[in-house]
């Protein structure tokens, strides 16, 4: 039975939404975050917070032991694709070495379950709709660090009799319906950038490339609402704990949406005159990638609640207006 859950990176965008759903389900949560990209304002009031870097093995191990942690949700990572291309050593250290150190802290402990936030960026470009068995060939440094972590986690968990759930995120967007949490940091997140831009007097929505071989020339992604992602974490954690089965699962809606479609939806939801600016392609962007989520659906019998572009954009704008 799951009682005490440690969330690394719990002061971030995804971690705060996972915390929200775990607290609603009366779970005791402990957050480890060095606040390099996280925010104190996003930390759930019912969580016990430790300002710690996961590279600090002894400190993290002490937290796990003293609080009898039975489940770990590992989110802490550097995740901006363009930044990873500039600073590969930083990404390897924080993502791969950070994961190795966290696993060391979990060894010979009370930890029974381990959930890892992976990414669709590990898949080979051009496959379009991908299953968990599709070809693995990451294009970005970020994707390469994540597949390295997956292999390390599988090996460690098998040796130490720990259940694991590796969740391959597709493109996460949106904000909690509660209006209390959302994306704060200024990254290259598409929906955040568009939301911020729409708040200006003369919004300009920038699209990187319109010469891809897609329906409208822009990249196609499987965008999934962050609250649905949070629920997936909770349901997968419960299921691996109950069945003692480890799984690798794609997390998306099985539906593609173009970047231009997203821009046009933002235009619809504002009365301002919005300009769409086409710029050159980015080096590490995939052309088109959509999740085959059949395995996920079967494993947790999940029904998404926010599978709608209009709802996702509306929640982003609602959050941005509060900033």
Residues 6+ apart with CB under 8 A from 165: 113, 114, 115, 116, 236, 237, 239, 240, 246, 247, 249
What whole-number distance in Å separates Cα of residue 17 and Cα of residue 24? 11
Which residue(s) pair with 271 in the sheet?
A: none
Alpha carbon 70 to chain centroid distance?
22
**Phi then psi for 46, rounded to 5 degrees?**
-95, 0
129: alpha, beta or left? (left if phi > 0; alpha if psi -120 to 50):
beta
Q: What is the DSSP letter of 39?
A: -
What would you report as the CA-atom Rg of the chain, rounded to the nearest whole angstrom? 19
What whole-number distance in Å separates Cα of residue 177 and Cα of residue 317? 11
Residues 6+ apart with CB under 8 A from 49: 10, 11, 30, 31, 33, 43
**What is the number of residues in the chain?**
323
Between helices 141-159 and 98-106, what is the axis angle to 10°?
A: 20
Q: Which two tokens stand for residue 97?
A: 């070495």
**Phi then psi for 187, rounded to 5 degrees?**
-110, -160
Q: Which two tokens stand for residue 108?
A: 């010979």
| Residue in 142, 169, 212, 253 annotated catalytic | 142
What whole-number distance in Å separates Cα of residue 80 and Cα of residue 66? 33
Catalytic residue list contains 212: no
Which residues are identified as catalytic?
A: 142
């Amino acid at each position: 039975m799951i009682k005490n859950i440690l969330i690394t990176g719990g002061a971030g965008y995804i971690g705060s939404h996972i915390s929200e759903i775990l607290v609603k389900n009366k779970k005791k949560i402990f957050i480890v975050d060095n606040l390099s990209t996280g925010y104190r304002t996003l930390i759930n009031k019912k969580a016990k917070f430790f300002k710690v870097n996961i590279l600090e093995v002894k400190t993290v191990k002490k937290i796990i032991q003293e609080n009898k942690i039975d489940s770990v949700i590992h989110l802490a990572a550097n995740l901006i694709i363009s930044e990873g291309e500039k600073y590969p050593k930083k990404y390897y250290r924080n993502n791969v070495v950070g994961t190795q150190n966290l696993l060391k802290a979990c060894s010979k402990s009370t930890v029974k379950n381990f959930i890892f936030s992976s990414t669709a960026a590990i898949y080979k470009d051009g496959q379009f709709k991908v299953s968990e068995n599709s070809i693995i060939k990451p294009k970005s440094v970020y994707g390469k660090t994540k597949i390295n972590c997956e292999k390390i986690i599988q090996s460690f968990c098998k040796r130490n009799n720990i259940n694991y759930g590796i969740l391959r995120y597709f493109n996460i967007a949106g904000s909690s319906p509660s209006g209390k949490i959302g994306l704060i940091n200024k990254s290259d997140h598409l929906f955040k950038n568009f939301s911020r831009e729409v708040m200006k007097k003369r919004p300009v929505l920038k699209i990187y490339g319109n010469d891809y071989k897609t329906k409208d020339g822009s990249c196609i992604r499987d965008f999934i609402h962050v609250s649905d992602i949070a629920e997936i974490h909770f349901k997968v954690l419960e299921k691996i704990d109950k069945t003692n089965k480890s799984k690798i699962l794609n997390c998306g809606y099985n539906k593609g949406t173009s970047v231009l479609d997203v821009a046009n939806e933002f235009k619809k939801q504002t009365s301002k005159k919005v300009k769409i600016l086409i710029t050159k392609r980015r080096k590490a962007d995939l052309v088109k990638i959509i999740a085959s989520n059949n395995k996920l659906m079967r494993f947790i019998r999940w029904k998404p609640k926010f599978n709608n572009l209009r709802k996702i954009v509306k929640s982003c704008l609602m959050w941005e207006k509060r900033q």
